[in-house]
Structure 1
Amino acid sequence: MNSTQRKAIENWIDNIPTNNLASQPASASHACCSHKLQESLLTPPGTSALHNRTKRRLTELDAESNMSCSEPQKRLRRTLTTDTASLPVSLPDSITLSPSVTTRSDITASDRPRQRSSSPNRTKSNLTLGTPKIKFLHESADPGSDLARQLLVLLTADNEKWEPEAHEIDKISAASCKCDAQLRSEGSWVIEVVRPLLQCAIGKLPLECWSVQTETVDPKYQPRYAARGTYNRKIDLVVGFPVDEWSTEYEGMASRYPDQCFSHIAHPHTGARFLGPGFEVKASDGNLVEAQVQLGVWMAGLMTWAWDHRWGDSLPPPVVGCISIGERWDFYIIYSVEVDESARPEVRVWGPLSDLDGRTGTCKATAMLAKRLRRVMEYTESQYIQQLLRAITT
């Protein structure tokens, strides 16, 4: 196209009548059409790639301009959709996939996690339906056992013959205050408060305090009920009879029980020892009902073992159980009663007994608690072991 032809086209475009255009509303779309017509007429064929890219860009801009002028709502929706699609998709770290959505065919219903676990209150109630039955009695209730009543009278009697070492009491009380103020865990309470206090109460008596936190009850002495396995059946500490201090008694029992199983615990050490009082420990914010379930199940195993090994109609002696939640100590008396036409006894947990409870918040309160525990130890190494040996040998 020469300059003369180009000039003629420009003049023709400039002389186009504008009457009809004036009668129409001025819009960006008409201007865009005129601009594109002029560009198409004036641009020679065979333009460079740069011109082609420029033309495509102008076409996109014209389309967007037309849309913005004629359909603003569609333009807005398109912009939002484009922006949303271009955003990177990322999940917060707190979002995790539930294992219940798995589609593996080899997972059975029993392998899937339970939707709801039993509460401590429900488990405590279920124990009354198990075998053996475990009943929790309020301190105001009639225990239905003369041996349990006699033991309570013995434990509430004054103990003026024995006094704890002052430096031991000061150390234990200080440790209790530290654990409470610092919100220490259950393990700290066991190591720094409960076990030292029990060792103080034992003194030179032929007893020992053993940790049984990782030792389970033999399955044949566990109560059978529907919620089995929901709650821990272990306690923290137990007072037992060491072999070197009771060699005569152990030798006398060896011929009668060749398997050397002298308790309800499935452990080579503790299972071959006679056991006495049990202690469950919780931190200051521990659950009392949960602790009662643990103590009740564990001590019921001990009562069941003694019941299975008794001779004649002799009843195993009652035993003391204790729950320590922070500075508070609650005492229970656990014993068994015979149920008509039943091979298993009914185990009763009587307490907590307010006449025996104690604290470790002050040195005075700690000393009083130590004297109470001393009475428990004296009963354990005298009347308790004598009645137990008599029940399983006579």
Structure 2
Amino acid sequence: MAPEPIIQHWLHSISGREESSEGTNLPYKRRRRISDSHLPWIAPAPSQLGYKLDYVPELDEGKDCSPAAIKRGLGDGGVKVLYMSESDGLPHSADACEFLSFLTREDRGTVEHMDGDTDAIKTVTEAACKFEAEGRGKGSWVFEVAYPMMQLAVKGTNLESWSVQGETAHADYGMCCPTHETIDCTIDLVAGLSPVHWEGQYEQYANQGYGLFETFSHVDGKYGHSSKRLLGPGVKVTDSCNGFEMAEVDLGVWMGGLIRWGFENRRGVDTPPPVVGCIMTGQRWEFYIIYGLAERWMPEDPGEPDTVLGEVHVYGPLGDLTGWTDTEDTTAFLLETLRRVMEYTGSSYANLLFDTILK
């Protein structure tokens, strides 16, 4: 029997619905801006969708096949992925609210500059301006703008950064559509905890059995480097504003898999810490906080946690953190934001993660 197109079957089941939430106040002021997360959409080629398809889906005439519709249906066959903007209020997680406050605090411009920053910032800015003028494709943006920025961000830390293009999550950590088909989405770059610095914690986790699938992350074990690293922030690159919402889908599914991995490899009642995801569209960088919400259940083993992952929330884009690489000053400001993210990743995030997965 010929396979039924996943997206066609999925869209038959999608119904629009509104998500709402009540916010509380944090002790800091935040600027508001008009959201540009709903940019005009032009149908992408199948290869841009992030799905592993050997055929072109034939969608029913009149069906909504926009990325917005796909986002509404994410996880309906399993763990739900919800996309929340700042207009929906604050994150529904105390840890995520605390992290948001840390990222947007008043003194965020005090991050220390390092030797070589000035030349590197100039090089990245010149490349970004050149690619913008020439209409360069995604590959140029990834390896001559995004990758150098991530390397600068982890410089002097106990973190690593590398490319994860084409690397998908293990099927058991994936997100589903209503047909219960797992969606294969990818991002481009990730930062992780160095096994050299955290050697003891890596050894302890390995001695526990590596988790469910003998990996240190949600990435499929066939990707040797990434599956043997504890992962943190991720970056998705798109070279067109028309692909922005589809990039949000890729980011939510891939980073949501990391949150799911954390929940399913817990050794106690703690929940995995929130993590940052970025979308780079040309010269613009948008930041998101991705976190999981637990829900109660009755475990068969009394020693197991009495909560499971109920929802993954993708909160953003965060207007105060939007960055650019169009001038040396804006690139320097973006680097400060990325270093603030890495500061959190190498301290609070790492400590909370180890509290979650180690006995």
Check whether the contact 1:183–1:284 (CA below 8 A) recurs between aligned residues: no
String of CA shifts for 1:2-27, please: whole Å, max 9, x gaps.
xxxxxxxxxxxxxxxxxxxxxxxxxx
- Match of residue 162 from structure 1: 112
- 1:370 partnered with 2:344: no
Residues 57-72 of structure 1 aligned to structure 2 (within 5 Å): none
Q: What residue identity is the alignment partner of 2:358?
A: T
1:172-183 equivalence runs, <5 A:
172-183=124-135
Aligned sequence identity (%): 39
Please list, as runs of the form range in 1=range in 2, the aligned pairs for 1:1-394 lying within 5 A after superposition: 108=2, 110=4, 113-116=56-59, 118-127=65-74, 129-140=76-87, 141-157=89-105, 158-163=108-113, 165-226=117-178, 233-258=185-210, 260-266=214-220, 267-341=223-297, 343-394=308-359
- Alpha carbons of 1:393 and 1:368: their partners in 2 closer, same or farther (altered >3 Å)? same
Q: Which has the higher strand share?
A: 2
Q: How many residues align?
A: 288
CA positional deviation for 1:243:
2.2
Contact kept? 2:175, 2:182, Cα under 8 Å:
no
Take 2:111 and 2:341, find their aligned partners in 1: how far apart are those partners?
14
1:348-385 superposed Cα distances (whole Å, 9 cap, x missing partner): 01100101111110000000000010000111011101
Q: Name which structure has the greater RCO, CA cutoff 8 Å, separation 6+.
A: 2
Q: Describe the SS at the equivalent of 1:193.
A: helix
Task: Give unmatched runs, 5+ long, in structure 2.
Answer: 6-54, 298-306
2:52 alignment counterpart: none
1:245 Cα deviation from its structure 2 partner: 2.9
Give 1:288 deviation, angstroms. 1.1
Q: In the aligned structure 2, how far is the partner of 1:109 from the partner of 1:381?
A: 45
Moved more, 205-214 or 237-246: 237-246
More helix by share: 1
Q: For residue 312 of structure 2, give the secondary structure of its aligned residue in structure 1.
A: strand
Q: TM-score, normalised by structure 1?
A: 0.69
- Whether the aligned pair in 2 keeps the contact of 1:131 and 1:344 (CA below 8 Å) is no
Question: Per-residue deviation at 1:287?
Answer: 1.3
RMSD: 2.1
Quick one: which amino acid aligns to residue 333 of structure 1? I
Give the whole-Å Cα distance in 2 for the aligned partners of 1:255 and 1:197: 35
Letter matched to residue 212 of structure 1: V
Residue 30 of structure 1: aligned partner: none
Distance in 2, Cα, partners of 1:181 & 1:114 = 34
1:234 counterpart SS class:
coil
Gaps of 5+ in 1: 1-106
